[in-house]
Amino acid sequence: MSSYSVTEPSGRQKLFAGTLVILYALITILPLLWIIGTSFKSPSDAIAYPPKTFFSPTLEGYVNLFTTRTRATEEDVKALGEPTTWYDRIVRKDGFVIAGPSRFMERFSNSMIIGFGSTVLCIVLGTAAAYAFSRFKVPLKDDLLFFILSTRMMPPIAVAIPIFLMFRSLGLNDTHLGMILLYTAVNLSLAVWLLKGFIDEIPIEYEEAALIDGYTRFQAFYKVVLPQAMTGIASTAIFCLIFAWNEYAFAVLLTSGTAQTAPPFIPTIIGVGGQDWPAVAAGATLFLVPVMIFTIVLRKHLLRGITFGAVRK
Amino acid sequence: MAQIRIENVRKEFGAFTAVQSSSFTVEDGEFFMLLGPSGCGKTTTLRMMAGLELPTSGEIYIDGEEVGMKPASQRDIAFVFQMFALYPHMNVRKNISYPLLSQGMPRAEVKARVEDVARILKIETILDRPVGGLSGGDRQRVALGRAIVRRPKAFFMDEPLGALDAEFREHMAEELRALHDRIGATTVYVTHDQLEAMQMGDKIVVMNHGVVEQFGKPQEIYDWPATKFVAKFIGSPAMNFFDFDGMIDAGDTVIELSGKKVNVPSSRQGAKGNLTMGVRPEHIGFSDASEYRGRVLATEYLGTTQIITLATPNGEVKARASSRQAVRAGETIGLEFNPGTLTIFEGENGRALLSEANEGVLRHG
């Protein structure tokens, strides 16, 4: 028999909490599983009614995502000879031939450049600003901090038109730099506030000890404060990346070609005969991967970071 | 190793004056205590000496060189923080070697020095442990190790025993003093604990409200306090004060306390009005012959001695007597004061009047 404890939940409480968590996880993960499932369906399975839970998987969606295709007559197909690759075979089954690669890889790498670029910039600027706000006497500190926060109080899209005009006159429309700057500007307030909280938690004695030990202020900052702030930096980076990665409205408005990111591109994947849902689902699935990897890599920090305030002092 | 001289140092934070024009000298190799209640400016004074705060005005000399405006990294001193401030992301060895690495010392020499220090502090076995899991005492030793490893000109310690529990403090205090005696480095130590200051210090500065009240050897300060604040702050129980309205002239050896004559050391100064006679509890004796009488309120048994609380015409006082002295609560007994140990304070500013007994101590400070 176990004795009563104030801090340890009882077995029944644990069972109840566990059930709730699993239920919640199922609810959130179901659409995700559906998308991943759809990406492996054939177009006809994807729109079958009632929806199919069991189906024979195919890579057609992924092939369609990465290629552009044209319809060909039977003679034309015969004239080409036997298909040489597995993806040729998939395409020709439906009477198509591959015309060339699609733009998905370009859009995907645009997303990577802009997403990670703005995250890095945001963290560099945010950490420096947060450190200054945390440690130095900055004139009008509270007002400045409030001003920074206030940029977050309206939906960013409310300023879409001024930004569009500004970008046009600066030649930033449809450029990587423009999008990186924009996402950095939107995320910076969050980054400064989050990071300031984390840096405030680091006792100033660590830096003073480093100063006494013969290091300069800057060395004390990056050798002592930065390693301590890694938790906060990691979780802030994840928040920044998720925003920049998923952002849709500005991307639609401000990019069309060179710098277009994946979110506005994926919905435009339309097959020749009707909506090609497996291809769209394949795009969405691949789109999830980088953020997932990034989050898993930083997970250890994230778990400690989200519960900050509870960290030991 | 070095002498440290503080001259007219003053520190203001906005409208608040933390330290008012303080001057004192720490001699080479001294264990020097900065003592006072919290908020008295002792930590600010130490931080100015270390270069963690810049003085508003005044000069600080370390080893003859004026360093008041120099950054901490250029003063060649070591600082032990109350919270130890060990770098949490490094292990013990890395922590101790950190100040040497900033000087670009060769690896082999760093290793030798760290192991040297570890041997002195008896922490060889924990060198490769992370600092997170260490006990308070070991953290304290590592912090000391980080300080002594670079052989600085001086050590500054800000209540280094404050974070330890009472039992361990005593032990660490002894260890610290033994370490000082062994390496003989100039040490400035901040504490609010008068017992710690008396026990460890070669010399003590007592501060209050940003002012240096007195500065000298522990025994001098205990016997001949310069102000009522010092008399009250040092010693447990504190010095007894007998307030009286009267006068004293230069050369007088007797005062009148509630109509009874009391012998005092020959005064060098005259004063009148509100005066206070100060006497340590152990200098109150009992004699039926004495005209000055008090009623016993309570006794506190402390083993070899006892503390007797008495009601007198000049207020409540505490006397320390041998436990063999038989007294009962409620009885009235005659009090005697050891004449060579009395100090007269002026009422308004609380300063001690100079007498033949204390002038040797108070004139130089």
B45 found inside a domain: yes
Average pLDDT over residues A112-120: 96
Which chain A residue lies closest to B72 (C-alpha atoms)? A212
B260 and B122 in a common domain: no
Query: Does A216 touch chain B if contact means CB atoms closer than 8 Å?
Result: yes
Average pLDDT over residues A239-260: 91
How many angstroms away from the CA of B84 is the closest CA of chain A? 8
Cβ atoms of residues B164 and B137 within 8 Å? yes
B214 and B338 in a common domain: no
B140 and B91 in a common domain: yes
Question: Does residue A306 carry a pLDDT above 60?
Answer: no
Percent pLDDT > 90 in chain B is 60
B102/A212 Cβ within 8 A: no
B160 found inside a domain: yes
Map out the domains of chain A as residue ranges. Answer: 43-102, 105-306
B231 found inside a domain: no
**In terms of CATH, what superfamily is A105-306?**
MetI-like (1.10.3720.10)
B272 and B314 in a common domain: yes
Q: Can you give the residue range of the structural domain that contains B118?
A: 4-223
Cβ atoms of residues B114 and B105 within 8 Å? no
> Is the ipTM of this structure higher than 0.85?
no
Cβ atoms of residues B292 and B258 within 8 Å? yes
- Which pLDDT does position B7 carry in this prediction? 92
pLDDT in tens, B155-208: 999 998 887 888 888 888 888 898 899 888 899 999 999 989 998 999 999 999
A211/B73 Cβ within 8 A: yes
- What are the angstrom distances between the C-alpha of B293 and each of A14, B239, B254, B307, B344? 73, 19, 18, 17, 20
In this structure, what token pair is assigned to residue A155?
A: 């939906």
A208/B52 Cβ within 8 A: yes
* Bridge partners, A115 (sequence order): none
- Which pLDDT does position A4 carry in this prediction? 65
B232 found inside a domain: no
A224/B72 Cβ within 8 A: no
Where does chain B have alpha helices with state H? 42-50, 92-101, 107-121, 136-148, 166-183, 194-200, 218-223, 228-233, 359-364
B230 found inside a domain: no
Q: Reduce the DSSP state of residue B10 to 3 states and report it.
A: strand
Burial of residue A43 (CB within 10 Å: 0-12, 13-18, 19+) is buried
* Bridge partners, B267 (sequence order): B355
Of the residues A212, A217, A223, A228, the best mutation for testing chain B's interface (the one with the most B CB atoms within 10 Å of its CB) is A212
Average pLDDT over residues A208-229: 91
Contacts of B138 (CB under 8 A, 6+ apart): B123, B126
pLDDT in tens, B112-154: 999 999 998 889 999 999 988 888 888 889 999 999 998 899 9
Q: Reduce the DSSP state of residue B338 to 3 states and report it.
A: coil
**Chain B residues with CB inside 8 Å of A219's CB?**
102
B243 and B218 in a common domain: no
- Which pLDDT does position A125 carry in this prediction? 97
Q: Could you tell me the CATH number of the domain that includes residue B69?
A: 3.40.50.300
Residue with more model confidence, A154 or A140: A140
* Bridge partners, B6 (sequence order): B24, B60
Q: Which of A207-211, A283-287, B169-173 has the lowest mean pLDDT?
A: B169-173
Full DSSP string of B274-294: EEEEEE-GGGEEE-TT-S-EE
**Chain A residues with CB inside 8 Å of B105's CB?**
none
Angle between helices B107-121 and B136-148 (to 10 degrees): 130
Cβ atoms of residues B72 and B51 within 8 Å? yes
Question: Does residue A30 carry a pLDDT above 90?
Answer: yes
pLDDT in tens, B239-264: 999 999 988 888 888 888 888 888 89
Amino acid occupying residue B148: I
Angle between helices A141-150 and A176-200 (to 10 degrees): 130
In this structure, what token pair is assigned to residue B42?
A: 């002792």
B146/A205 Cβ within 8 A: no
Query: Does B130 touch chain A if contact means CB atoms closer than 8 Å?
Result: no
Q: How confident is the model at residue A273 (pLDDT cuts 50, 70, 90)?
A: low
Nearest in space to A236 (alpha carbons), one of A120, A102, A153: A120
Where does B122-165 have alpha helices with state H? 136-148
Burial of residue B61 (CB within 10 Å: 0-12, 13-18, 19+) is middle
- Which pLDDT does position A156 carry in this prediction? 78
**Chain B residues with CB inside 8 Å of A213's CB?**
73, 98-99, 102, 146, 150
Q: How many CA atoms lie within 13 A of A112 on its CB side?
A: 12
B229 found inside a domain: no
B358 found inside a domain: yes
Question: Does residue A72 carry a pLDDT above 90?
Answer: no
d(CA B339, CA B277): 11
How many angstroms away from the CA of A142 is the closest CA of chain B? 18
pTM of the entire structure? Answer: 0.80
B191 and B54 in a common domain: yes
Cβ atoms of residues A60 and A293 within 8 Å? no
d(CA B277, CA A87): 106
Number of domains in chain B: 2
Residues A101, A291, A112, CA angle at the centre, nearest 5°? 45
How does the average pLDDT of chain B come out, rounded?
90
Average pLDDT over residues B62-70: 91
- What are the angstrom distances between the C-alpha of A40 and each of A62, A98, A104, B166? 8, 19, 18, 69
B217 and B106 in a common domain: yes
Query: Does B203 touch chain A if contact means CB atoms closer than 8 Å?
Result: no
Query: Does A204 touch chain B if contact means CB atoms closer than 8 Å?
Result: no
B228 found inside a domain: no
DSSP state, B239? P
B85/A205 Cβ within 8 A: yes
d(CA B262, CA B277): 10
B334 and B262 in a common domain: yes
Look at chain B and count its residues: 365
Amino acid occupying residue B120: I
Give the β-pairing of B203-208 and B31-35.
parallel
Cβ atoms of residues B206 and B36 within 8 Å? yes
B258 and B195 in a common domain: no
B166 and B36 in a common domain: yes
In this structure, what token pair is assigned to residue A290?
A: 């980088």
Termini Cα distance of chain B: 24
Nearest in space to A210 (alpha carbons), one of B86, B262, B170: B86
Interior/surface letters B252-280, b for 16+ CB within 10 angstroms, e for the rest: beebebeeeebebbebbbebeeebbbbbb
B256 and B214 in a common domain: no
pLDDT in tens, A37-59: 999 998 888 888 888 888 888 89
Full DSSP string of B13-81: ETTEEEEEEEEEEE-TT-EEEEE-STTSSHHHHHHHHHTSS--SEEEEEETTEE-TTS-GGGS-EEEE-
Average pLDDT over residues A143-167: 89
Percent of residues in chain B assigned helix, strand, coil, to nearest 5: 30, 35, 35
- Which pLDDT does position A272 carry in this prediction? 56
